């Protein structure tokens, strides 16, 4: 197993790298299309606006290689924006197409009863508790969130966990085969986050 990490100049790389190193893995950085071939597992750490991140991927010519990696079923872990970019589009960046690998649109929280961004610890409701990604977890694990947008119109067959924030219930995790993507930040979620990363890396 060799772990690669997308470096598009905006992600929260250092925290994710440190989390992986604490588990005994030292990820290599991917900044060019040809570098994908060096790795067996891929993490896309997220931070930044939807449109800016897609622009950076295009500038580095990483879009098609990333699509090919995910479409072929290779292990992929998308975090926050690395999760949102899998979808068709986002209200955050009108006119900017996402990777379009999972159908859905990323929308902003609209409830006036909650603060935006959604920031802090929140429980998940696992929809696929028997998945190997959730090995060792109970049905209501807590993770750390920092976000203002979340995907809607997601196929229930790929929803691995949901989360409630105020009156809104949203898709917080998707999985399909070797693909795992989360709205929360595992690298900021202490032991729960490390356990989830380790389950992914053991796939």
Pick the catalytic residue from 41, 118, 147, 185: 185
The per-residue pLDDT for 111 is 79
E-strand stretches of the chain: 3-6, 28-30, 41-44, 76-79, 89-90, 105-108, 118-126, 142-147, 149-152, 159-165, 168-176, 179-182
Phi then psi for residue 188, to 5 deg, are: -105, 5
Pick the catalytic residue from 20, 147, 187, 198: 187
Has 103 been annotated as catalytic?
no
The per-residue pLDDT for 53 is 93
Q: How far does CA 98 lie from the centroid of its chain?
A: 14
Query: How far is Cα 140 from Cα 174, in angstroms, rounded to an integer?
Result: 16
Domains of the chain (ranges plus CATH)? 3-201 (3.40.50.880)
Pick the catalytic residue from 53, 80, 163, 171: 80
Q: How far does CA 97 lie from the centroid of its chain?
A: 17
Has 92 been annotated as catalytic?
no
The per-residue pLDDT for 32 is 96
Residues in the chain: 203
Has 34 been annotated as catalytic?
no
Return per-residue pLDDT of the chain as tens, 203 residues.
999 999 988 767 899 999 999 999 999 999 999 999 999 999 999 778 999 999 999 999 999 999 999 999 999 999 999 999 999 999 999 999 999 999 999 999 987 788 999 999 999 999 999 999 999 999 999 999 999 999 999 999 999 999 999 888 999 999 999 999 999 999 999 999 999 999 999 98
Q: Cα-Cα-Cα-Cα dihedral of 197, 89, 51, 194, to 10°?
A: -10
């Amino acid at each position: 197993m060799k772990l690669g990490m997308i470096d598009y100049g905006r992600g929260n790389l250092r925290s994710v790298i440190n989390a992986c190193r604490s588990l005994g893995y030292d990820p290599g950085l991917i900044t060019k299309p040809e570098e994908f071939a060096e790795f067996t597992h891929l993490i896309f750490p997220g931070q930044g606006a939807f449109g800016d991140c897609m622009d950076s991927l295009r500038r580095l010519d990483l879009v098609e290689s990333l699509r090919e990696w995910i479409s072929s079923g290779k292990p992929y872990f998308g975090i926050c924006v690395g999760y949102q970019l899998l979808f068709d589009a986002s209200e955050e960046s009108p006119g900017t197409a996402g990777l379009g690998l999972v159908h859905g649109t990323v929308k902003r929280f609209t409830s006036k009863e909650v603060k935006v961004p959604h920031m802090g610890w929140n429980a998940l409701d696992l929809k696929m508790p028997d998945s190997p990604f959730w090995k060792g977890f109970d049905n209501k694990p807590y993770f750390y969130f920092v976000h203002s947008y979340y995907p809607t119109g997601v196929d229930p067959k790929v929803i691995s966990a949901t989360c409630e924030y105020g009156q809104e219930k949203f898709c917080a995790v998707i999985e399909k085969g070797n693909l795992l993507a989360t709205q929360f930040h595992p690298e900021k979620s202490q032991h729960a986050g490390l356990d989830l990363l380790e389950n992914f890396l053991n796939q």
